[in-house]
Amino acid sequence: MREREQGFSLIELMVAMVVTLIISGAVFQLVTAGNSAFRREPAMADRQQNIRMALDLISQDVYKAGYGVPDFAQVFTPALDGTGPAGSGGENSDHLEFVVAEECAHLEVCSVSGMELFTLDRPGSCFVPPATVIASCDTGTNCPAYDVYWADAKGGAAPCGKGHIDRTNQRSTLTPPGGHKNITPQWLLVGSIVRYRINPDADGVPNLERSAFGGAKDATGNDSWQVLARGVEDLQVQYQIAAGWRDDPGTTSNIDTLVRRVHVRLSARSTEANLAGQTTSAGAGNAVRGELEIAVAPRAAVTVLGMSSGQL
C-alpha cells in the first residue's frame, strides 16, 4: 500500500488561527490593563496626596485665622465666591482670603507720632522687615478694630520703650477685610493676609496657589503666588455662622455672624496623559479626577464662643 501523507486542512488551520488570536487578544488585554493600572495607581496616589497636602496647609491657616485680632472682628474677606475659573462641576471656583497672625509675642505700643510707632520692647525674631504688621487697639475711636500694613524696624532713640517701627511704606494692596481703619494702634503682631486661588499655568493645567500678601507683590516687589499642588482644578468654600452655612462670610461680625467653621472642598485631576483609556492630556474633560473636603473651626472663634457661653 502506498504510504499516505496527511496535513491540516484549511478549515482546521483557520480554526487554530482564530483560537490563537482569541487567546493572544485576551493576554494582550490583560497585559495592557496591568500596565494601565501600574501607571494609573501611582498617578491617582499622587493626585490624592496633592489634595491632602493642600488641605493640610489650608486647615492650618484657617485654624489660625483671627488669632490676635479683637473679638468678633471680621477676618475673612467677603465677595470671593465664584471669582475663580470654572471648575470640574461647571461652577466657578472660589478664592479664600483671611488674616493670620504669627505665633509670636505681641508688641505693646507706648507712643505714636504720625506713622512712627514706638514699642515697649524691641521687635523679636519674627519681625523680619519689611513685615506685614497687624495693628489693633482695645479702647478709643474705632476700637476694638484692627489694621494691616507694611512696616520697617527703625533705629534711633524712642520717647518710650525700646522699639521703633515705621509704617510710612503702607500699601493699599494689603487692605484687610472691611478696609483700613486708620486707628491709633495699641499693640502689634506680625502676620499675613493669606489668599488661595485656582490658576491655570502656561500648559493649561490648573494649580492651587497661595499668597501670603493677599495676592499682591511681596515686600521686594516680586510675585507672591506660590504653587502648592498641580492639577487642583476646583476650590469651593462655605462659611458657617449661627444661622447655618453660606457662600459668603459677610462684611460684619458679631455673635450671630461670627464665622464658626470653614468648609473647603478641593477637586483635582491627574496631570499625566493616557491613563486607563484617557486619550488626551489632563487639560481635557476626561482626566482622572478625585476630591477631598474638610471643615475647620478657627481657634479664635472657638475661644470667643466659649467665653460668650461662659464655658471659658
**DSSP annotation string for 218-246:** -TTS----EEEEETEEEEEEEEEETTEEE
Average pLDDT of every residue of the chain: 82
pLDDT band at 312 (very low <50, low <70, confident <90, very high): very low
More confident residue, 273 or 131: 131
Asked if residue 174 has pLDDT above 80, the reply is no
More confident residue, 272 or 211: 211
Report whether 187 contacts 165 (CB < 8 A).
no
In the predicted model, what is the mean pLDDT of residues 119-123?
Answer: 89
Spell out a b/e string for 183-216, using b for 16 or more CB atoms within 10 Å of the CB, else e: bbbbbbbbbbbbbbbbeeeeeebbbbbbbbbbbb
Residues whose CB is less than 8 angstroms from the CB of residue 119 and which lie 6 or more positions away in sequence, other chains included: 107, 108, 109, 110, 158, 161, 162, 163, 164, 165, 188
Asked if residue 219 has pLDDT above 90, the reply is no
In the predicted model, what is the mean pLDDT of residues 8-37?
Answer: 76
pLDDT band at 284 (very low <50, low <70, confident <90, very high): very low
d(CA 216, CA 208): 16
Asked if residue 215 has pLDDT above 60, the reply is yes
Asked if residue 163 has pLDDT above 50, the reply is yes
Confidence (pLDDT) at 273: 55
Region of poorest pLDDT, from 100-114, 174-188, 238-252: 174-188
In this structure, what C-alpha cell is assigned to residue 308?
A: 460668650
Asked if residue 283 has pLDDT above 60, the reply is no
More confident residue, 236 or 30: 236
Query: How much of the chain, in percent, has pLDDT values that exceed 90?
Result: 30
In this structure, what C-alpha cell is assigned to residue 188?
A: 502689634
Instruction: Return the closest-CA partner of residue 131 out of 165, 103, 108.
Output: 165
More confident residue, 155 or 46: 155
Helix (H, G, I), strand (E, B) or coil at 135: strand
Confidence (pLDDT) at 285: 52
pLDDT band at 183 (very low <50, low <70, confident <90, very high): confident
Instruction: Return the closest-CA partner of residue 94 out of 235, 195, 201.
Output: 235
Confidence (pLDDT) at 279: 41
